[in-house]
């Protein structure tokens, strides 16, 4: 077999056109609800089917490969563009963003240093500048910066590493990166409804998960500011150093946004690093109607913002943003002469500031979406799914067979089916059984969440094509499944 065959531009053209046709049909069938949301199979039985011998000989059968891709892969994938996909905070990606990922894959810009990805570097810097501007830092005359990374968990870890370094240097005169952790009294204060990546980051950082102090929330799942103040004062009394306060803009269980302004004012007054995990909810900044919910975000020292949630990007792309540009260098401080050049290029070498060395051209898809649709077009997506979450919550509240956990603040709606005469344990089991039947039927994909001892059905309205009839059909399906 000729090596030229492996890199044939003409074959790429022909196979690419066929692949785009297959994917376009797949997208159309989901939008028209012509296939199941999920083609459920038991994973144990599926695993047996995938125990195939290692291929050793070339077949060059691209048509056969495309057929397998369509039948085996696409038909057995979760339909993220299906209006009945209501499970998780995973975007139905904008098609143009998916095409940009193809460009990123083929050009394969490593991006460790500027010269390994010149246009990729500039794209990313442009997108980061736009996101910082949306937060409001530019209007305060602050030079802010950040970078894109692979997912919110890595972004939260990076921000907390920077917070630890800056806080310890400022308050304990300690260089944690160089000297290591000399104290076991470093603490992170965060909501009881934090994303698990915060606790995981504490473990990775060597602080231990017990260093994370969970702050009680109010009845609508927002952090109680008085409880935060009390916890901070206890840390002072115990000679414990708070390296960061972590607020949440759109918590994973219910989508609630913490009172960022009150938290920000307190942190600024007490000289505490404020990190906001806005992985889900920061995109509300694009909505003229909903951005008020994020008032105070500009007071944060660092913010995480996921593109693969409400910016409708393919996974994974997350921004970790720093109010003060110099703090974007604080997480990592090592040298590698084979990578890093001296002089003015240093600020353009992303590996100075990221956990990743090689990373893909993540900024292209975000740049394309902003360039094509603007903040107004992307904001319309936010307005649409938030409004549909409100509509669904109203339908649930009006139905005597269902109980709503709380009014949605974003696009997450939690509820449960009620049956008289059941104990608390039996009601929880009922919700579990309902979800299992719904998902395995393929009709809808929904998730669940445990909240103060009760199990709730959880829906995340990500698809702007999901409509009122889809909500009615889900409630009807739930009642029939019992």
Residue 296, domain member (yes or no): yes
Do residues 188 and 68 share a domain? Answer: no
Q: Are 424 and 450 in contact (CB under 8 A)?
A: no
Q: Alpha helix locations (H) across 108-151?
A: 118-135
Of 330, 361, 392, at which residue does a domain stop? 361
Flag residues of the chain having pLDDT under 50: 335-340
Model confidence over 184-220: pLDDT tens digits? 789 999 999 999 999 999 999 989 999 999 999 998 9
Residue 336, domain member (yes or no): yes
Of 361, 387, 409, at which residue does a domain stop? 361
Q: Are strands 412-417 and 454-460 parallel, antiparallel or unpaired?
A: antiparallel
pLDDT of residue 345: 59
Do residues 348 and 201 share a domain? Answer: yes
How many Cβ atoms are within 10 Å of 76's Cβ, its own excluded? Answer: 12
Do residues 356 and 416 share a domain? Answer: no
pLDDT of residue 239: 92
Do residues 307 and 195 share a domain? Answer: yes
Residue 99, domain member (yes or no): no
CATH number where 318 lies: 3.40.640.10
Do residues 310 and 394 share a domain? Answer: no
Model confidence over 457-482: pLDDT tens digits? 999 999 999 999 999 999 999 999 88
Residue 414: strand pairing partners: 458
Do residues 126 and 223 share a domain? Answer: yes
Find the domain containing 415 and state its range. 9-44+64-93+374-482
Do residues 297 and 386 share a domain? Answer: no
Do residues 335 and 442 share a domain? Answer: no
Residue 307, domain member (yes or no): yes
Do residues 357 and 384 share a domain? Answer: no
Residue 57, domain member (yes or no): no
How many Cβ atoms are within 10 Å of 347's Cβ, its own excluded? Answer: 15
Model confidence over 400-453: pLDDT tens digits? 999 999 999 999 999 999 999 999 999 999 999 999 999 999 999 999 999 999
CATH number where 453 lies: 3.90.1150.10
Please state the domain count of the chain: 2
Q: What is the pTM of this model?
A: 0.93
Do residues 81 and 131 share a domain? Answer: no
Q: Are 444 and 472 in contact (CB under 8 A)?
A: no
């Amino acid at each position: 077999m000729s090596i030229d065959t492996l890199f044939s531009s003409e074959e790429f053209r022909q196979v690419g056109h066929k692949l785009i046709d297959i994917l376009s049909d797949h997208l159309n069938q989901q939008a028209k609800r012509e296939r199941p949301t999920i083609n459920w199979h038991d994973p144990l039985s599926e695993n047996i089917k995938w125990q195939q011998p290692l291929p050793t000989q070339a077949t060059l059968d691209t048509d056969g490969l495309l057929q397998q891709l369509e039948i085996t892969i696409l038909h057995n994938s979760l339909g993220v563009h299906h209006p009945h996909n209501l499970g998780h905070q995973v975007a139905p990606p904008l098609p143009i963003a998916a095409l940009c990922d193809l460009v990123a894959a083929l050009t394969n810009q490593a991006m460790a240093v500027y010269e390994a990805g010149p246009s990729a570097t500039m794209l990313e810097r442009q997108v980061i500048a736009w996101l910082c501007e949306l937060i409001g830092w530019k209007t305060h005359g602050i030079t802010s910066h950040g970078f894109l990374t692979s997912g919110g968990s890595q972004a939260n870890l990076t921000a907390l590493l920077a917070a630890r370094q800056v806080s310890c240097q400022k308050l304990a005169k300690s260089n944690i990166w160089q000297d290591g952790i000399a104290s076991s009294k470093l603490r992170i204060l965060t909501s009881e409804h934090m994303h698990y990546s915060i606790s995981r980051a504490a473990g990775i950082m060597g602080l231990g998960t017990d260093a994370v102090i969970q702050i009680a929330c109010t009845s609508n799942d927002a952090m109680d500011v008085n409880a935060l103040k009390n916890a901070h004062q206890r840390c002072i009394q115990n000679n414990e150093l708070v390296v960061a306060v972590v607020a949440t803009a759109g918590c994973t269980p219910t989508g609630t946004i913490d009172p960022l302004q009150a938290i920000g004012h307190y942190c600024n007054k007490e000289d505490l690093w404020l990190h906001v995990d806005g992985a889900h909810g920061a995109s509300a900044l694009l909505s003229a109607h909903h951005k008020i919910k994020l008032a105070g975000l500009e007071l944060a020292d660092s913010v995480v913002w996921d593109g693969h949630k409400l910016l409708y990007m393919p996974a994974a792309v997350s921004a970790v943003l720093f109010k003060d540009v110099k703090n974007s260098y604080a997480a990592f401080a090592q040298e590698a002469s084979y990578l890093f050049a001296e002089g003015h290029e240093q600020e353009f070498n992303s590996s100075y500031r990221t956990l990743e060395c090689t990373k893909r051209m993540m900024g292209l898809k975000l740049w394309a979406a902003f360039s094509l649709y603007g903040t107004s077009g992307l904001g319309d997506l936010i307005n649409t799914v938030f409004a549909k979450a409100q509509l669904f919550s109203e339908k649930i509240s009006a139905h005597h067979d269902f109980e709503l956990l709380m009014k949605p603040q974003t696009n997450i709606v939690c509820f449960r089916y009620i049956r008289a005469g059941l104990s608390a344990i039996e009601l929880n089991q009922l919700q579990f059984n309902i979800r299992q039947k719904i998902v395995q039927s393929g009709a809808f994909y929904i998730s669940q969440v445990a909240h103060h001892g009760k199990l709730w059905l959880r829906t995340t309205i990500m698809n702007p094509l999901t409509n009122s009839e889809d909500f009615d059909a889900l409630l009807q399906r739930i009642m029939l499944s019992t």
